Structures are given as C-alpha cells and as structure tokens.
C-alpha cells in the first residue's frame, strides 16, 4: 500500500511539473515582454551609433514610448526616426525651430523620455491619418508631401528595414539557442510546453 502511494505521488509530480512551469512563465510574461522591448531598443540604438553614455537612458525612453503606443510602434521605427531627425543629439535645434531628439516644437531637451514620448505621440497621429501606412506617416512627420519630406522618409524607412532584419536575425539566434538549452536541461516534454514563454527571458548579446 505504501509503495503504491509513493508511485502515485511520483507520477502526479511528473505529470503536473510542466504545467506549473508553464503557469509561472505566464505570470512573468508581461515583464518578459517589457524586457524584449528594452533589449530591442538597446540593440537598435547601439547598432545605429547612439552615444554610449546615453544608451541606457535612451533605451528606457524608447521602451516606455513603445509600451504606451496605441498603434504598436516598434523600437526599430522610433530609433530610425530619432537618427534621421537629430542624429541622437538631444540638444539639436533646426532652422525652423524644431528641437530635441525627435525634432518636435515642444521638446523639453532636458528630459529624453518626455521628448521621445511626445515624438511617438505625433507619429501615432500621422499613423492614424494615413491608416497605419508607415511610409506616408513618416513623410507627414518629416514635413508633409514635398519631395524633400518623402526623401527623408525613405531614408528613415531604409534604416527601419535594416534594423528589422538585424533584430529578426538576432531573435532567431536567441530562440535557437534557447530551445537547444531547454531540450538539454528540461527534456523534450517540458520544452514543448514552456519554450515559447521562457525563451523571451534570454538577453541579447550586444557584441557581434
């Protein structure tokens, strides 16, 4: 009788252990999603040559703006726009009086998180006007429908697509390494259940 009880207990533990891991991963998913945005922001900024001493401040600002976006604006798009607007110079002022990282009329220059959030809000409005057409929204952000505005928008779009490709490549590498690690450490059964929610915890390697 004692032996049967012991066998039953062991069977229950092995049966429900993957489910427990899955539930714990779901609880942490929101934090992992924020980490993913932070990783993508940091990687995009580093790749495009943002000042290293401002990297973490800018990454947090981009992450916060994307997290609060109503139109699923990505870090790659925001970083591309910052680069073509100001070259990551928070003190930039144009001849027309536009200021800050995203060259808005109301930039504080003092607080990058406020200025980037303001720029993303303006971009969201352009996305709404153009029914989420990114090239047209960027042209409107750049000044309207002029040839110069479209040329600047195309440059932003080129950087954006380059960053998307790099981030996608990095994601594939991370997922591949994570899946292999899970198979080795947890076994195939657990991997099939939890890999899609555990893998986002892996941190990007910023070198290479």
CATH number at residue 68: 1.10.530
pLDDT-based confidence at residue 4 (cuts at 50, 70, 90): low
- What is the Cα–Cα distance from 28 to 105, expressed in whole angstroms? 39
Instruction: Name, of 1-5, 96-100, 191-195, the range with top average pLDDT.
Output: 96-100
Residue 206 within a domain: no
Q: How many domains does the chain have?
A: 1
Give the domain extent around 173. Answer: 2-201
Examine residue 207 and state whether it is found in any structural domain, yes or no.
Answer: no
Q: Is residue 208 part of a domain?
A: no
Q: What's the average model confidence in pLDDT over 37-57? A: 95
State the first-to-last Cα distance of the chain, in angstroms, to the nearest integer. Answer: 60
CA 201/CA 208 separation, integer angstroms? 20
Q: Is 84 a domain residue?
A: yes
pLDDT at 22 over 50: no
Domain-embedded: residue 161: yes
The answer to whether residue 98 sits within a structural domain is yes
- The arithmetic mean of pLDDT across residues 38-45, rounded, is 95
The two structure tokens encoding residue 3 = 């032996």
Question: Which of 49-58, 59-68, 129-138, 189-198 comes out lowest in average pLDDT?
Answer: 189-198
Residue 109 lies in a domain: yes
Name the residue among 32, 149, 3, 141 with its Cα closest to residue 77.
141
What average pLDDT does the structure give for the chain?
A: 79
pTM score of the predicted model: 0.71
């Amino acid at each position: 009788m004692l032996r049967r009880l012991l066998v039953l207990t062991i069977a229950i533990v092995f049966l429900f252990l993957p489910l427990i891991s899955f539930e714990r991963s779901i609880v942490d998913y929101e934090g992992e999603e924020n980490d993913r945005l932070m990783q993508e922001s940091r990687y995009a900024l580093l790749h495009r040559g943002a000042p290293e001493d401002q990297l973490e401040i800018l990454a947090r600002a981009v992450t916060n703006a994307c997290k609060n976006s109503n139109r699923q604006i990505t870090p790659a798009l925001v970083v591309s726009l910052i680069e073509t607007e100001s070259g990551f110079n928070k003190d930039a002022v144009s001849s027309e009086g536009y200021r800050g990282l995203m060259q808005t009329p109301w930039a504080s220059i003092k607080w990058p998180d406020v200025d980037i959030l303001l720029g993303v809000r303006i971009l969201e409005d352009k996305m709404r006007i153009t029914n989420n057409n990114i090239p047209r929204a960027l042209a409107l952000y750049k000044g309207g429908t002029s040839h110069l505005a479209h040329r600047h928008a195309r440059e932003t779009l080129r950087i954006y697509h380059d960053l998307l490709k790099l981030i996608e490549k990095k994601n594939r590498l991370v997922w591949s390494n994570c899946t292999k690690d899970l198979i080795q450490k947890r076994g195939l059964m657990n991997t099939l259940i939890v890999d899609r929610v555990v893998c986002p915890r892996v941190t990007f390697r910023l070198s290479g």
